[in-house]
Amino acid sequence: MKKILFLLVAIASAAFANDGAVANETLKAYSVLAAGVGLGIAAMGGAIGMGSTAAATIAGTARNPGMGGKLMTTMFIALAMIEAQVIYTLVVALIALYANPFLG
Protein backbone atom coordinates (compact mmCIF):
# COMPACT_ATOMS: atom_id res chain seq x y z
CA MET A 1 0.00 0.00 0.00
CA LYS A 2 2.85 2.36 0.81
CA LYS A 3 4.41 1.68 -2.59
CA ILE A 4 1.19 2.57 -4.39
CA LEU A 5 0.81 5.78 -2.39
CA PHE A 6 4.43 6.71 -3.10
CA LEU A 7 3.91 6.04 -6.82
CA LEU A 8 0.79 8.21 -6.91
CA VAL A 9 2.59 11.08 -5.15
CA ALA A 10 5.54 10.77 -7.53
CA ILE A 11 3.27 10.85 -10.59
CA ALA A 12 1.28 13.79 -9.22
CA SER A 13 4.42 15.78 -8.45
CA ALA A 14 5.72 15.16 -11.96
CA ALA A 15 2.41 16.34 -13.39
CA PHE A 16 2.34 19.54 -11.34
CA ALA A 17 6.00 20.35 -12.03
CA ASN A 18 5.41 20.81 -15.76
CA ASP A 19 4.59 24.08 -17.45
CA GLY A 20 1.13 24.82 -18.89
CA ALA A 21 1.35 23.19 -22.33
CA VAL A 22 3.07 20.08 -21.08
CA ALA A 23 0.68 19.88 -18.12
CA ASN A 24 -2.30 19.73 -20.49
CA GLU A 25 -0.66 16.91 -22.44
CA THR A 26 0.17 15.12 -19.20
CA LEU A 27 -3.42 15.51 -18.01
CA LYS A 28 -4.67 14.10 -21.31
CA ALA A 29 -2.35 11.12 -20.92
CA TYR A 30 -3.54 10.51 -17.37
CA SER A 31 -7.15 10.81 -18.56
CA VAL A 32 -6.54 8.07 -21.12
CA LEU A 33 -4.89 5.92 -18.46
CA ALA A 34 -7.74 6.49 -16.01
CA ALA A 35 -10.35 5.71 -18.67
CA GLY A 36 -8.60 2.47 -19.58
CA VAL A 37 -8.17 1.33 -15.99
CA GLY A 38 -11.72 2.32 -15.07
CA LEU A 39 -13.22 0.46 -18.01
CA GLY A 40 -11.08 -2.58 -17.26
CA ILE A 41 -12.21 -2.72 -13.63
CA ALA A 42 -15.85 -2.15 -14.59
CA ALA A 43 -15.74 -4.85 -17.25
CA MET A 44 -14.10 -7.28 -14.85
CA GLY A 45 -16.69 -6.61 -12.16
CA GLY A 46 -19.52 -6.90 -14.67
CA ALA A 47 -18.18 -10.19 -16.00
CA ILE A 48 -17.91 -11.63 -12.49
CA GLY A 49 -21.45 -10.50 -11.69
CA MET A 50 -22.84 -11.90 -14.93
CA GLY A 51 -21.07 -15.21 -14.41
CA SER A 52 -22.43 -15.65 -10.91
CA THR A 53 -25.92 -14.64 -12.07
CA ALA A 54 -25.87 -17.20 -14.87
CA ALA A 55 -24.49 -19.89 -12.57
CA ALA A 56 -27.23 -19.26 -10.01
CA THR A 57 -29.90 -19.35 -12.72
CA ILE A 58 -28.59 -22.63 -14.12
CA ALA A 59 -28.45 -24.16 -10.65
CA GLY A 60 -31.98 -23.00 -9.90
CA THR A 61 -33.29 -24.39 -13.18
CA ALA A 62 -31.54 -27.71 -12.53
CA ARG A 63 -33.21 -27.98 -9.12
CA ASN A 64 -36.66 -26.98 -10.33
CA PRO A 65 -37.14 -27.14 -14.12
CA GLY A 66 -40.68 -25.77 -13.84
CA MET A 67 -39.34 -22.41 -12.68
CA GLY A 68 -36.92 -22.09 -15.62
CA GLY A 69 -38.91 -19.41 -17.44
CA LYS A 70 -39.37 -17.25 -14.38
CA LEU A 71 -35.70 -17.59 -13.46
CA MET A 72 -34.60 -16.67 -16.98
CA THR A 73 -36.74 -13.53 -16.93
CA THR A 74 -35.25 -12.48 -13.60
CA MET A 75 -31.76 -13.28 -14.87
CA PHE A 76 -32.17 -11.08 -17.95
CA ILE A 77 -33.33 -8.17 -15.80
CA ALA A 78 -30.33 -8.64 -13.50
CA LEU A 79 -27.95 -8.87 -16.47
CA ALA A 80 -29.36 -5.63 -17.89
CA MET A 81 -28.77 -3.86 -14.58
CA ILE A 82 -25.22 -5.22 -14.33
CA GLU A 83 -24.45 -4.15 -17.89
CA ALA A 84 -25.89 -0.68 -17.22
CA GLN A 85 -23.17 -0.11 -14.62
CA VAL A 86 -20.48 -0.90 -17.20
CA ILE A 87 -22.14 1.44 -19.70
CA TYR A 88 -22.18 4.24 -17.10
CA THR A 89 -18.43 3.73 -16.67
CA LEU A 90 -18.01 3.93 -20.44
CA VAL A 91 -19.89 7.24 -20.51
CA VAL A 92 -17.72 8.69 -17.74
CA ALA A 93 -14.59 7.48 -19.55
CA LEU A 94 -15.71 9.11 -22.81
CA ILE A 95 -16.40 12.36 -20.98
CA ALA A 96 -12.92 12.21 -19.45
CA LEU A 97 -11.40 11.62 -22.89
CA TYR A 98 -13.32 14.02 -25.13
CA ALA A 99 -14.96 16.67 -22.90
CA ASN A 100 -12.43 16.80 -20.10
CA PRO A 101 -13.56 19.45 -17.62
CA PHE A 102 -10.06 19.71 -16.13
CA LEU A 103 -8.35 20.97 -19.29
CA GLY A 104 -9.86 24.45 -19.03
Cα(39)–Cα(51) distance, integer angstroms = 18
- How confident is the model at residue 21, as a pLDDT? 62
Mean pLDDT of successive 10-residue segments in the chain (104 residues)? 75 63 73 87 93 95 93 94 92 85 68
**Residue 89 Rama label (left phi>0; alpha psi -120 to 50; beta):** alpha
- How confident is the model at residue 20, as a pLDDT? 60
Relative orientation angle of helices 2-17 and 20-63, to the nearest 10 degrees: 140
- How confident is the model at residue 13, as a pLDDT? 67
Number of C-alpha atoms within 13 angstroms, CB side, residue 14? 11
- How confident is the model at residue 34, as a pLDDT? 85
Architecture, CATH, for domain 23-98: Up-down Bundle (1.20)
Global pTM reads 0.69
User: Which residues lie closer than 8 Å to 42 by C-beta, 6 or more apart?
Assistant: 85, 86, 89, 90
